[in-house]
Structure 1
Amino acid sequence: MAVSGAVYSFGQYELDTDRRRLSHDGQPVPIEPQAADLLCHLVEHRDRVVPEEELLDTVRRGRTVSEAALAASLRSARLAIGDSATRQRCIRTVRERGYQFVAQVTVASTTPSAAPTAAVTAAAEADHEVIRFCRSADGTRIAYATTGEGPPLVKTANWLTHLDLDRTTPMWAHWFDGLTRGRQLIRYDERGCGLSEWNVPSFALDDLVDDLDSVVNAAGLDRFPLLGVSQGGAVAVAYAARHPDRVSRLILTASYARGRQIRAADDAERDAAQVDLNIARAGWRSQDSSFLRFFASQFLADATPAEWDAFAAYQRQTTSPANGLRFLEEFTRIDVSGIAHQVTCPTLIIHSRDDARVPVAQALELATLIPDSRLILLESRNHLFTADDPAWPTFLTHLDTFLSE
Structure 2
Amino acid sequence: MYQFAKCSIDPEKHRFLRDNKLVHIEPQVFELLLVLAAKQGRLVTKDELVEIVWHGLSVSDATISARINAARNAVGDTGRDQAIIKTVHGLGFQLIAEVTTADEQTVQAPPIDPVDTQVIRFAQSSHNAKIAFAQSGNGPPLVRVGHWLSHLELDWESTVWRPLLEALGHKHSLYRYDQRGTGLSSRELDDVDLDAFVDDLKAVADANKLDNFPIFAASQAVPVAIRFAELYPDRVKGLVLYGGFALGRALRAKSPDDIDEDIILGLIKAGWGKANSPFVNAFSALFVPDATSEQMESFVKMQTETVSPQNAARLRQIIDRFNVTDILPSISAPTLVIHANCDAVQPSSQGRVLASEIPNAKYVSLDSRNHIPLPQEDSWKRMINETEAFLEAITSGDF
Q: Is the 8 A contact 2:258 2:346 kept in 1?
A: no
CA offsets per residue over residues 51-92 of structure 1, 9 Å max, x none? Answer: xxxxxxxxxxxxxxxxxxxxxxxxxxxxxxxxxxxxxxxxxx
Q: For 2:131, which of 103, 121, 142 is the aligned residue?
A: 142
Per the alignment, residue 387 of structure 1 pairs with 375
Q: For 2:385, which of 351, 373, 397 is the aligned residue?
A: 397
CA deviation after TM superposition for structure 1 residue 328, in Å: 1.3
Q: For 1:182, which of 160, 171, 176 is the aligned residue?
A: 171
CA offsets per residue over residues 235-288 of structure 1, 9 Å max, x none? Answer: 11111111111101000001111111111247x899933233322332327666
CA deviation after TM superposition for structure 1 residue 352, in Å: 0.6
Note if 1:234 corresponds to 2:235.
no
Per the alignment, residue 279 of structure 2 pairs with 291
Note the residue ranges of structure 1 that are not aligned, 5 or more in a row.
1-122
Distance in 2, Cα, partners of 1:270 & 1:157: 23
Per the alignment, residue 354 of structure 1 pairs with 342
Distance 1:404 1:320, change over 3 A: same
Secondary structure at 2:154 match in 1: coil
Aligned length: 282
CA offsets per residue over residues 65-120 of structure 1, 9 Å max, x none? Answer: xxxxxxxxxxxxxxxxxxxxxxxxxxxxxxxxxxxxxxxxxxxxxxxxxxxxxxxx
Question: Percent identity at matched positions?
Answer: 36
Per the alignment, residue 203 of structure 2 pairs with 214
Map 1:17-36; keep pairs closer than 5 Å.
none
Secondary structure at 1:164 match in 2: helix
Note if 1:320 corresponds to 2:308.
yes
Distance in 1, Cα, partners of 2:177 & 2:316: 19
Distance in 2, Cα, partners of 1:166 & 1:341: 34
CA deviation after TM superposition for structure 1 residue 127, in Å: 4.0
Distance in 2, Cα, partners of 1:128 & 1:292: 31
Q: Is the 8 A contact 1:355 1:383 kept in 2?
A: yes
Distance 1:182 1:325, change over 3 A: same
Per the alignment, residue 70 of structure 1 pairs with none
Instruction: Kindly provide the amino acid, as one letter, of the partner of residue 201 in structure 2.
Output: L
Distance 1:329 1:227, change over 3 A: same
Q: Is the 8 A contact 1:225 1:249 kept in 2?
A: yes
Map 1:122-161; keep pairs closer than 5 Å.
127=116, 129-161=118-150
Distance 1:365 1:270, change over 3 A: closer
Note if 1:308 corresponds to 2:308.
no
Distance in 2, Cα, partners of 1:330 & 1:177: 30
Q: Is the 8 A contact 2:340 2:370 kept in 1?
A: yes
Distance in 2, Cα, partners of 1:178 & 1:125: 12
Distance 1:126 1:180, change over 3 A: closer
Alpha-carbon RMSD: 2.2
Distance in 2, Cα, partners of 1:134 & 1:156: 14
CA offsets per residue over residues 189-222 of structure 1, 9 Å max, x none? Answer: 1111111111342441111000100110001000
Distance 1:203 1:304, change over 3 A: farther
Per the alignment, residue 260 of structure 1 pairs with 249
Per the alignment, residue 196 of structure 1 pairs with 185
CA deviation after TM superposition for structure 1 residue 148, in Å: 1.3
Q: For 2:327, which of 334, 339, 358 is the aligned residue?
A: 339
Secondary structure at 1:166 match in 2: helix
CA deviation after TM superposition for structure 1 residue 394, in Å: 0.9
Note if 1:224 corresponds to 2:213.
yes
Note the residue ranges of structure 2 that are not aligned, 5 or more in a row.
1-111, 394-399
Distance in 2, Cα, partners of 1:293 & 1:354: 20
CA deviation after TM superposition for structure 1 residue 165, in Å: 1.9
CA deviation after TM superposition for structure 1 residue 126, in Å: 7.8
Q: For 2:232, which of 230, 235, 243 is the aligned residue?
A: 243
Per the alignment, residue 363 of structure 1 pairs with 351
Secondary structure at 1:134 match in 2: strand
Distance in 1, Cα, partners of 2:303 & 2:121: 22
Distance in 1, Cα, partners of 2:138 & 2:348: 34
Map 1:83-122; keep pairs closer than 5 Å.
none
Secondary structure at 1:153 match in 2: strand
CA deviation after TM superposition for structure 1 residue 129, in Å: 2.6
Distance 1:340 1:283, change over 3 A: farther
Q: Is the 8 A contact 1:163 1:195 kept in 2?
A: yes
Distance in 2, Cα, partners of 1:395 & 1:378: 8
